[in-house]
A and B are shown apart, each in its own frame.
Chain A
């Protein structure tokens, strides 16, 4: 019972956050005076023209009403119509990019999460060894670099100056399944992996070290358990619990990180779509993409918290 209440509370909080996020996006893009209509027509448009378009867009209605219409349409899957490209529905404009970006992020997660959990644990077990030192030093440097800098360095090293292994631009053919053209995706996935794995690795290392120094591990060792069981049954599972939180936060971070990385590789994903929507002042598309990315961010954090609640014995039994 207690568990269900905790999860419901967290769910309610997540929905509340999503609501406020949508209000913020709406206010920033549409409700500020003169924005939408003036933005489409440009500064030279006559006030009459602006007024006509405002009425067409529903901008003359009260703000709360506009918001209600927008959100109810959004929830029912109607993302509105794009300002550019002959009134295409926004869902059509962002459908393929959204799929492309999902492929990219999922591949990056599949590579980086196991890699960094393994590397972090190993570094912690062989603390101060050669690999540990290499991991600690390289992650400090990598974690500091902006992702687009990593991307360009990756291009310079692997596809132009030093080696010529992969195409510097990732434009998968939309009519061919992605798994048939993986070489197009190697560099963007590598870039995202290099951007994400330092945090998870460092976190995993720190937690494992903390746990290995704790009293219950000493206890397990003192009672004569073999080291293998001490590590894999008692230490590592407990380090994974906090690592879930950090991993989810990093995957959520990808929701923002892909924008610059896609731009570097000219990858036709949601980030590139956002950039061109901003350039073209296509407000419905901007709204849809920012709301989707923010939702991914909120939902991943929500999932992480719920998993934490489920796997933490202290919370499960209701003891504080």
Chain B
């Protein structure tokens, strides 16, 4: 536990103030983000995410042209008219990048939310109902897990056509097994603790025990997990658009831009590099934040064990 090469020094001040058990439950929410914020990777990750979201929200106001306006010949290198050059139809790449974030980010957020919500629900039910239901739920989820996410999404699209909301549901659905596993794993450690037994002894209904006793204790790991899920959602949704089965032209969307402009890869690489960079910043940012949070949790756990 006291290894000399402990790299993550987490929050030296808080170690001095011993927490009372009652007080700690109140602070649990902020404790982890605070400890995570002390790590450089978290700060970089948050900065990345803020950048991407600022572009997605305010980008359209800053764009010099309309995303569908033709400003020159196709695949022109950067010039005064088009700062990042033009795309395969002669539209302004910069404007399209500024417009193209909303779709992917909104769809990814909704998909992540769907996956987290149902995954959490199933994980909790599985953990709390134990044995029979637990086994059945987890085995059924293994079936969804047997598809690589992109194949599952493609299967849905091949049946129902490229409908954005269907894609969101498909992508969210592929998250459910992983989220359920994580939340079940954490919840299993909690369902047998004394305060749950106490609540049962008091005759509290099962649903309210899950909601008010177990759920607050597993939010942090699930929050950490949602960062990775968000990055995955962006990857899959962008990949679907890139393959031609996601968002459809003439919409400005980062994944779609990569697909449309890839024939011009040697003539006008900026038309590819710009959307690629935005997707990379978004996914790396989400991963860094998630990584920082999980390191902070490990650090806090170690400290508690040392006390």
A residues at B contact (CB < 8 Å): 13, 16-18, 20-21, 24-25, 28-29, 32, 35, 127-128, 140-141, 143-149, 152-153, 155-156, 160-161, 168, 213, 252-253, 255-257, 259-260, 263-264, 274-275, 277-279, 281, 283, 286, 290, 293-294, 297-298, 301
Contact = CB atoms under 8 A, between A and B. Distances in A.
**Which A-B residue pairs are the 3 nearest by beta carbons?**
A256-B148, A146-B235, A144-B287
A21 B148 contact: no
Contacts of B238: 146, 148-149
Interface string B224-267: 00000001001110110011110000000000001000100110
Contacts of A153: 276
Contact of A256 (B151, B244, B287): B151
Interface of B: 3, 5, 7, 41, 139-140, 142-143, 146-151, 154-159, 231, 234-236, 238-239, 242-245, 258, 262, 265-266, 269, 272-273, 276, 279-280, 283-284, 286-288, 291
Contact of B146 (A21, A143, A264, A286): A21
B155 A259 contact: no
Contacts, number: 132
Contacts of A146: 234-236, 238-239, 279, 283
24 contacts: A17-B139, A17-B143, A144-B283, A144-B284, A144-B286, A144-B287, A144-B288, A145-B280, A146-B239, A149-B258, A149-B276, A156-B273, A161-B266, A168-B266, A257-B150, A259-B150, A259-B151, A278-B158, A278-B245, A286-B155, A290-B151, A290-B154, A293-B148, A301-B146
A152 B280 contact: no
A296 B220 CA distance: 34
A28 B156 contact: yes
Given A28-B156, A161-B269, A293-B151, A148 B239 contact: yes
A32 B159 contact: yes
A44 to B, nearest CB: 16
A143 B258 CA distance: 20
B143 A20 contact: yes
Contact of A281 (B143, B158, B280, B284): B158
Given A140-B41, A156-B265, A256-B150, A28 B143 contact: no
Nearest to A143: B287
B262 A297 contact: no
If over half of A's interface residues share one DSSP class (helix, strand or loop), that class is named, otherwise mixed; here it is helix
Contacts of B139: 13, 16-17
Given A128-B7, A156-B265, A161-B266, A144 B243 contact: no
Contact of A140 (B3, B234, B273, B287): B287
Q: Tell me the interface secondary structure of chain B in the complex.
A: helix
A300 B244 CA distance: 29
B243 A260 contact: yes
Contacts of B266: 160-161, 168
Contacts of B258: 148-149, 152
A16 B138 CA distance: 13
A176 to B, nearest CB: 26
A160 B142 contact: no
Contacts of B156: 28
A207 B3 CA distance: 16
Contact of A278 (B154, B234, B279, B283): B154
A160 B271 CA distance: 14
Contact of B158 (A29, A144, A257, A260): A29
Given A17-B143, A35-B159, A297-B148, 20 more contacts: A16-B139, A28-B156, A140-B284, A141-B284, A145-B284, A148-B258, A152-B258, A161-B266, A168-B266, A253-B148, A260-B239, A263-B242, A274-B151, A274-B154, A275-B243, A277-B158, A279-B244, A290-B147, A293-B148, A301-B146
B204 to A, nearest CB: 33
B242 A148 contact: yes
Contacts of A168: 265-266
Contacts of A161: 266, 269
Contacts of B158: 29, 277-278, 281, 283, 286
A143 B284 CA distance: 8
B243 A263 contact: yes
A298 B146 contact: yes
Contacts of A293: 147-148, 151
A152 B265 contact: yes
Given A156-B273, A213-B3, A297 B154 contact: no
B296 to A, nearest CB: 15
A152 B143 contact: no
A290 B146 contact: no
A260 to B, nearest CB: 5
Contact of A144 (B231, B239, B269, B272): B231
A279 B244 CA distance: 9
A259 B273 CA distance: 21
A102 B78 CA distance: 41
Contacts of A13: 139, 142
A278 B155 CA distance: 8
B271 to A, nearest CB: 11
B264 to A, nearest CB: 10
Nearest to A281: B158
Nearest to A263: B243
A260 B139 CA distance: 29
